[in-house]
A and B are shown apart, each in its own frame.
Chain A
């Protein structure tokens, strides 16, 4: 597997890694130190964007795409006939350092297929991270994958070198996991997450007492759920997510629209990946983390799935019209956050600006508040901004109406009916 030239192996192992959607290099703030290379920025830094519009922040590769498991949804499953390749730890270290110095990347995201055993594989990943930290003196961002079923001692070691660790749940329910990933019992994923969560809290506490206490995954842990490969509802997914954020204090839950890649009869045949659903789930996820919503407010037994026509906040507001409109000059910050179209930044600016002056429509626009949706839910100085007051169904209709200008009517062309001129002039 190491016989192929490096550039080919880079292609194969990048190919195999790209379906892991975690991309961020955020959450860790470390200044550069003398004698080391690199630093981390708490905001994270994107370095470029690929043709699918996703950002590249970390060098995201697998150590190897050979795998002893046969998870139906995974490109790298044992039974899939693809080229297999592997990197040595020297090669990964060399690529990382050289890409990093040229400012192509913020750091390394290292994942792998499982070879021999979970513990052996985890040791290989740790060896690369240790080498980068101790030999190359690399001080940039490292994201390490945890291998399901790896020994707790190894997991505790991984977090010493990595900024962020992650282990993917992939499928939201035990049944789906048993069906599609028979080699990975749910415990083998959840237990390491629990352990990591505990270790992060411990390390943070220790550091409040002594600045010299070692860090453990300072940028926290994340996970990924595949959307659309199994029959779980959005409610199942969002409720699970809520639990992960509140109980295990995850930094991020990523959603990956399932891209059909096999003819396995256990998987649905989707014509296209459910990208809109993925988008709506991210919107709901943001509402949980930054807008004070809880899962049961967004979805319940009667409505187990998100409305694809609206963002989840508009959807919620339309079902709670009795709470609106609210007065932008008076209402608390927490309520402002619940107005469709108003984000965290807008809400903060409104709260700041209204201490100095009375806000009207003009002022709101100056603050950069987008009123397209918000106007139906706001009054400014007592005046309703949405024009005529509408009841629920009509308001919904109004908000769904295309707001863009109608497509430009085609200008009449002089020679529209003429065929290709070359046919007339005999050049053909």
Chain B
């Protein structure tokens, strides 16, 4: 039994899977850099995985050829859930796919396909929701800053969407849960880790005005005769509301 230590990213994980396949390891374990790995009685050798983009791309190509683009996307979504033990599950999914090929897509009721599909669906739903729930605030002139606290690590899924959408401004989407951010510099976006804000960002002069207008619009738009807060909460669970200006307590002084 070998323990594969990788950098925590998806590329790194693919490299770990690649190393694992090469070594013919049947019972691997995966740990991330920085995670405390308690080497117990049955601890295996630790193998340090070096992340090489080409290796990851090669494994992707191999899997896509064997199964499908869609199945690879499923694995990628599932991995980003960052649930405990997800590496092992996705590793089983990937190796099964390489063994049985396209048949994986029909094994919906069998493990690990069932669990991976379920988790992937969950993550992709969350990513879709955040395409709507990200709220930019204008800091200084032109710079847009947004905070999110998603359950899964969804930045990689939503950042390209915002590149296509708000391409004329520099922006940053800050994942407070993971202390990382997607940063866009008018050319491309990149993931920045270990972010720490030293001070609250200063908002631009008009930021409050637009947020207040939005709040008013939001409140006025509800039809009193159809009042249905339960339905509202089904769509916007409380945990999302923290960073949505329309759910901030009334600020009539603005």
Contact = CB atoms under 8 A, between A and B. Distances in A.
A7 interface: yes
Given A18-B223, A37-B166, A357-B109, A52 B232 contact: yes
B220 A14 contact: yes
Contact of B108 (A46, A57, A356): A356
A363 interface: yes
A56 B232 CA distance: 11
Given A37-B168, A355-B106, A11 B146 contact: no
Interface string B95-134: 0000000010111111000100000000000001001111
Contacts of B166: 37, 101, 103
B26 interface: no
A102 B147 CA distance: 12
A99 interface: yes
Interface in A11-43: 11, 14-15, 18-19, 31-32, 34, 36-39, 41, 43
A60 interface: yes
A352 B105 contact: yes
A103 B108 contact: no
B135 A352 contact: no
Given A18-B221, A56-B221, A273-B225, A47 B110 contact: no
A99 B144 CA distance: 12
Contacts of B109: 353, 356-357, 359, 362-363, 366-367
Interface centre among B106, B138, B224 (most CB of A within 10 A): B106
Interface string A150-176: 000000000000000000000000000
A355 B211 CA distance: 52
Given A49-B236, A52-B227, A53-B232, A352 B106 contact: yes
B214 interface: yes
Interface string A42-72: 0101111111111111011000000000000
B4 to A, nearest CB: 30
Q: How would you classify the secondary structure of chain A's contact residues: helix, strand, loop or mixed?
A: loop
A103 B213 contact: no
Contacts of B37: none
A28 B161 CA distance: 15
B136 A7 contact: no
Contacts of A275: 226
Interface in B207-232: 210-214, 216-232
Contact of B212 (A7, A18, A45, A366): A7
A56 B108 contact: no
A195 to B, nearest CB: 31
Interface in A323-364: 349, 352-353, 355-357, 359, 362-363
Interface string A184-223: 0000000000000000000000000000000000000000
Interface in B125-184: 128, 131-138, 144, 146, 161-169
Contact of A10 (B107, B135, B216): B216
A275 B223 CA distance: 13
B239 interface: no
Contacts of B114: 366
B246 interface: yes
A15 B225 contact: no
Interface centre among B138, B161, B162, B221 (most CB of A within 10 A): B221
A52 B220 contact: no
Contact of B135 (A36, A98, A103): A103
A127 B167 CA distance: 25
Nearest to B107: A356
A272 interface: yes
A38 B216 CA distance: 24
Given A46-B235, A363-B109, A103 B229 contact: no
A11 B217 CA distance: 6
A259 interface: yes
B244 interface: yes
Contacts of A357: 106-107, 109-110
A102 B132 contact: no
A47 B133 contact: yes
A47 B132 contact: yes
A259 B244 CA distance: 30
A95 B213 contact: yes
A6 interface: yes
Contacts of A245: none
Contacts of B225: 259, 272-273
A99 B210 contact: yes
Nearest to A354: B106
B213 to A, nearest CB: 6
A104 interface: yes
Contacts of A14: 216-217, 220-221
A6 B213 CA distance: 9
A188 B66 CA distance: 58
20 contacts: A31-B164, A32-B165, A36-B167, A38-B165, A41-B131, A41-B161, A48-B133, A49-B235, A50-B218, A51-B219, A51-B222, A51-B229, A53-B229, A54-B223, A98-B210, A101-B166, A103-B135, A104-B214, A356-B103, A356-B108
Interface of B: 103, 105-110, 114, 128, 131-138, 144, 146, 161-169, 206, 210-214, 216-232, 234-236, 244, 246
